[in-house]
Copies of this chain bind each other. A is one copy, B any other.
Protein backbone atom coordinates (compact mmCIF):
# COMPACT_ATOMS: atom_id res chain seq x y z
CA UNK A 1 0.00 0.00 0.00
CA UNK A 2 1.22 3.45 -0.86
CA UNK A 3 1.70 5.59 2.26
CA UNK A 4 0.16 9.02 2.38
CA UNK A 5 2.39 11.93 1.38
CA UNK A 6 2.31 14.95 3.74
CA UNK A 7 3.07 17.06 0.66
CA UNK A 8 -0.50 16.84 -0.58
CA UNK A 9 0.45 18.17 -4.02
CA UNK A 10 1.68 14.68 -5.01
CA UNK A 11 -0.50 11.78 -6.09
CA UNK A 12 0.11 8.16 -5.01
CA UNK A 13 2.46 7.69 -8.02
CA UNK A 14 4.63 10.50 -6.66
CA UNK A 15 3.63 12.90 -9.42
CA UNK A 16 2.38 16.45 -8.92
CA UNK A 17 -1.36 17.01 -9.04
CA UNK A 18 -3.79 19.85 -8.50
CA UNK A 19 -5.13 18.92 -5.05
CA UNK A 20 -8.88 18.41 -5.08
CA UNK A 21 -10.82 21.22 -3.39
CA UNK A 22 -14.02 20.11 -5.08
CA UNK A 23 -15.76 19.29 -1.81
CA UNK A 24 -14.62 22.35 0.13
CA UNK A 25 -17.03 25.08 1.09
CA UNK A 26 -16.85 28.63 -0.20
CA UNK A 27 -15.61 30.85 2.61
CA UNK A 28 -14.09 34.31 2.76
CA UNK A 29 -10.32 34.01 2.26
CA UNK A 30 -7.81 36.78 2.88
CA UNK A 31 -4.02 36.70 2.59
CA UNK A 32 -1.36 39.29 3.29
CA UNK A 33 2.24 38.89 2.08
CA UNK A 34 5.29 41.07 2.49
CA UNK A 35 8.72 41.48 0.96
CA UNK A 36 11.63 43.89 0.79
CA UNK A 37 13.91 45.21 -1.92
CA UNK A 38 17.22 46.78 -0.92
CA UNK A 39 19.09 49.23 -3.15
CA UNK A 40 21.81 51.87 -3.19
CA UNK A 41 21.32 55.35 -1.72
CA UNK A 42 21.16 57.07 -5.10
CA UNK A 43 18.67 54.50 -6.44
CA UNK A 44 16.33 54.85 -3.49
CA UNK A 45 16.45 58.63 -3.90
CA UNK A 46 15.40 58.31 -7.55
CA UNK A 47 12.50 56.03 -6.60
CA UNK A 48 11.40 58.32 -3.78
CA UNK A 49 11.37 61.34 -6.08
CA UNK A 50 9.76 59.35 -8.86
CA UNK A 51 6.22 59.65 -7.75
CA UNK A 52 6.40 63.38 -7.95
CA UNK A 53 8.58 64.39 -10.81
CA UNK A 54 10.21 61.82 -13.00
CA UNK A 55 8.29 58.62 -13.25
CA UNK A 56 6.49 56.58 -10.68
CA UNK A 57 8.47 53.33 -10.27
CA UNK A 58 6.14 52.16 -7.49
CA UNK A 59 3.05 52.91 -9.58
CA UNK A 60 4.34 50.58 -12.30
CA UNK A 61 5.23 47.95 -9.69
CA UNK A 62 1.73 48.21 -8.22
CA UNK A 63 0.08 47.46 -11.55
CA UNK A 64 2.51 44.62 -12.32
CA UNK A 65 1.83 43.11 -8.90
CA UNK A 66 -1.94 43.20 -9.39
CA UNK A 67 -1.67 41.69 -12.87
CA UNK A 68 0.76 39.11 -11.46
CA UNK A 69 -1.70 38.07 -8.74
CA UNK A 70 -4.24 37.36 -11.50
CA UNK A 71 -1.70 35.17 -13.33
CA UNK A 72 -0.85 33.00 -10.31
CA UNK A 73 -2.58 29.84 -11.50
CA UNK A 74 -0.75 30.13 -14.82
CA UNK A 75 2.63 30.63 -13.11
CA UNK A 76 2.51 28.16 -10.23
CA UNK A 77 1.71 24.76 -11.77
CA UNK A 78 -0.50 23.26 -9.04
CA UNK A 79 -2.43 26.42 -8.11
CA UNK A 80 -6.18 26.47 -8.67
CA UNK A 81 -7.66 29.14 -10.93
CA UNK A 82 -9.43 31.62 -8.66
CA UNK A 83 -11.74 34.59 -9.15
CA UNK A 84 -9.99 37.17 -7.00
CA UNK A 85 -12.37 39.84 -5.75
CA UNK A 86 -9.84 42.25 -4.26
CA UNK A 87 -6.11 42.94 -4.71
CA UNK A 88 -4.14 45.88 -3.37
CA UNK A 89 -0.50 46.65 -2.66
CA UNK A 90 1.29 49.17 -0.47
CA UNK A 91 4.89 50.38 -0.50
CA UNK A 92 6.91 52.15 2.13
CA UNK A 93 10.41 53.54 1.78
CA UNK A 94 12.49 52.77 4.85
CA UNK A 95 16.13 53.90 4.60
CA UNK A 96 17.44 52.22 1.48
CA UNK A 97 14.80 49.50 1.52
CA UNK A 98 11.36 49.45 -0.05
CA UNK A 99 8.88 47.51 2.06
CA UNK A 100 6.17 45.86 -0.07
CA UNK A 101 2.83 44.48 1.14
CA UNK A 102 0.01 42.84 -0.79
CA UNK A 103 -3.51 42.01 0.36
CA UNK A 104 -5.73 39.64 -1.63
CA UNK A 105 -9.26 38.38 -0.95
CA UNK A 106 -12.05 36.27 -2.39
CA UNK A 107 -14.90 34.03 -1.36
CA UNK A 108 -13.88 30.59 -2.57
CA UNK A 109 -12.81 27.03 -1.94
CA UNK A 110 -9.10 27.61 -1.42
CA UNK A 111 -6.82 30.26 -0.02
CA UNK A 112 -5.04 33.11 -1.74
CA UNK A 113 -1.62 32.85 -0.11
CA UNK A 114 0.13 32.15 -3.41
CA UNK A 115 -1.64 35.10 -5.07
CA UNK A 116 -0.44 37.44 -2.33
CA UNK A 117 3.14 36.10 -2.52
CA UNK A 118 3.13 36.32 -6.32
CA UNK A 119 1.90 39.93 -6.22
CA UNK A 120 4.80 40.92 -3.96
CA UNK A 121 7.37 39.00 -6.03
CA UNK A 122 6.29 40.47 -9.37
CA UNK A 123 6.12 43.96 -7.85
CA UNK A 124 9.68 43.51 -6.59
CA UNK A 125 10.95 42.22 -9.93
CA UNK A 126 9.35 45.24 -11.63
CA UNK A 127 11.11 47.64 -9.26
CA UNK A 128 14.35 45.83 -10.08
CA UNK A 129 13.67 46.19 -13.81
CA UNK A 130 12.82 49.89 -13.62
CA UNK A 131 16.01 50.67 -11.66
CA UNK A 132 18.56 48.25 -13.09
CA UNK A 133 20.04 50.83 -15.47
CA UNK A 134 21.48 52.60 -12.41
CA UNK A 135 21.90 49.73 -9.91
CA UNK A 136 22.50 46.03 -10.56
CA UNK A 137 23.28 45.23 -6.92
CA UNK A 138 19.70 45.37 -5.64
CA UNK A 139 18.50 42.36 -3.64
CA UNK A 140 14.89 41.19 -3.24
CA UNK A 141 14.11 39.23 -0.11
CA UNK A 142 12.13 38.46 3.01
CA UNK A 143 9.18 37.41 0.86
CA UNK A 144 6.78 35.73 3.25
CA UNK A 145 3.17 35.21 4.18
CA UNK A 146 2.20 37.32 7.20
CA UNK A 147 -1.51 36.58 7.50
CA UNK A 148 -4.18 34.32 6.14
CA UNK A 149 -7.76 33.68 7.17
CA UNK A 150 -10.58 31.46 6.00
CA UNK A 151 -10.89 27.78 5.25
CA UNK A 152 -10.58 24.73 7.45
CA UNK A 153 -7.00 25.43 8.58
CA UNK A 154 -8.16 28.73 10.08
CA UNK A 155 -6.23 31.90 10.69
CA UNK A 156 -2.43 32.14 10.41
CA UNK A 157 -0.49 35.09 11.79
CA UNK A 158 3.26 35.17 11.34
CA UNK A 159 5.02 35.82 14.64
CA UNK A 160 6.55 39.26 15.02
CA UNK A 161 4.56 41.01 12.32
CA UNK A 162 2.13 43.88 12.81
CA UNK A 163 -0.99 43.63 10.71
CA UNK A 164 -3.71 46.26 10.66
Interface positions of A (Cβ within 8 A of B): 5-11, 13-22, 24, 28, 35, 46, 50, 53-60, 62-64, 66-68, 70-71, 73-91, 105-110, 113-114, 117-118, 121-122, 124-126, 128-134, 136-145, 148, 156, 158
Contact = CB atoms under 8 A, between A and B. Distances in A.
A17 B73 contact: no
**How many copies of this chain?**
6
Interface SS of chain A: helix, strand, loop or mixed? mixed
Contact of A141 (B7, B142, B156): B142
6 contacts: A6-B46, A7-B131, A70-B74, A76-B126, A81-B81, A81-B84
B78 A130 contact: yes
A132 B116 CA distance: 13
B88 A18 contact: yes
Given A7-B46, A128-B114, A136-B156, A122 B81 contact: no
**For the complex of A and B, 3 pairs with smallest distance between CB atoms:** A10-B55, A141-B141, A20-B86
Contacts of A77: 60, 63-64, 66-67, 126
